Amino acid sequence: MSDLIDEIKQLKQERKAIILAHNYVRPELQDIADFTGDSLELSIKAKNAKAPVIVFCGVRFMAESAKLLSPDSMVLLPNSDAGCPMADMASAEKVADYKATHPETVIVAYVNTTAGVKSHVDICCTSGNAEKIINSIPLDREILFLPDRNLGGNLNRKLKRNMLLWPGFCPTHDRVTPQMIETARKLHPGAKVLVHPECDTEVVALADEALSTGGILKFVRESPEQEFIIGTETGILHRLKSENPDKKFYPLKPEMLCPNMKKITLENVRDCLKNLTEQIELSTEVMHSAVKPIEEMLSRS
């Protein structure tokens, strides 16, 4: 493995590349990345990256967002199969249709959407800034939130809004049930329950906090508590454990994995730097229109 890592370091230098990684990807990728973070943190890094090559270890919509924010950089997704099933639950055609027939409705897209969808929406949000973004929209405006019905429903409840919800969901987070929280609390009484807001509203209501992955890391870092039940993709445990060696973490569900977030391997990263594949390429039209809701989000974050 160390030969492979040396090879990656060498190629990275030759290509003047930076490696960005999401908090869910394999630990060995988080370890070689220049920066690991949540969707919002990674968007900001991608915007400010001056590197000619950005290797994105995450899923396709994240690499597409990086390309939109750094159009002059070459953005590489090391495994072209790494997609997001939730993002694929909203098609650009359907969203364009909705926009055409409901011109008064503000369309808010979670960043977990394709660049094609983003080119038809008004503003994006991540789980890290969603409350701020929704609060910035006047109360009398009708809002369509897409594609995550769970994140949208959780925001509706917390912010007392009545957004219309697209029927999408994350297969990894949607499988968490209220019973799992009750069982985990019995097993680890006193531990704080932290879940991701892509979980169902009943699950979120039973948790202590619902936070983005970056929010979970920050909460644990700053908390005086010692034990935490973690209700999100288990890739986050790598950073949680290395940043907080004295604290204890219990996954809410041991097999809580996003298969797509696990697709990229060290070999893929080496090969993508060697062969410069797969480059994210978007049409000029999509580049022009899809960046607007992301820039709008960053200006209100």
The contact mask relative to ligand 13P for 54-83 (x = CB under 6 A, - = no) is ------------------------------
The site partner of 200 among ligand 13P, ligand SF4, none (C-beta below 5 to 8 Å per kind) is none
Residue 112 touches ligand 13P, criterion: CB under 6 A: yes
Contact 75, 279 (CB under 8 A): yes
Partners of residue 75 on adjacent β-strands: 54
Nearer to ligand SF4, 196 or 270 (CB): 196
Nearer to ligand SF4, 65 or 260 (CB): 260
- Min dist CB 88 to ligand SF4, Å, is 9
The contact mask relative to ligand SF4 for 221-260 (x = CB under 6 A, - = no) is ------------x------------------------x-x
Residue 43 touches ligand 13P, criterion: CB under 6 A: no
Contact 38, 62 (CB under 8 A): no
Residue 212 touches ligand SF4, criterion: CB under 6 A: no
Residue 39 touches ligand 13P, criterion: CB under 6 A: yes
DSSP readout, 282-300?
Answer: --HHHHHHHHHHHHHHHHH
Residues 9-17: contacts with CB under 8 Å, at least 24 apart: 11/270, 11/273, 11/274, 12/55, 12/273, 15/52, 15/53, 15/273, 15/276, 16/51, 16/52, 16/53, 17/51, 17/52, 17/53, 17/54, 17/55, 17/76, 17/273
The site partner of 153 among ligand SF4, ligand 13P, none (C-beta below 5 to 8 Å per kind) is none
Q: By CB under 6 A, what part of segment 118-177 binds ligand SF4?
A: 170-172
Where does this chain bind ligand 13P (CB under 6 A)? 23, 38-39, 84, 112, 126-128, 170, 198, 212-213
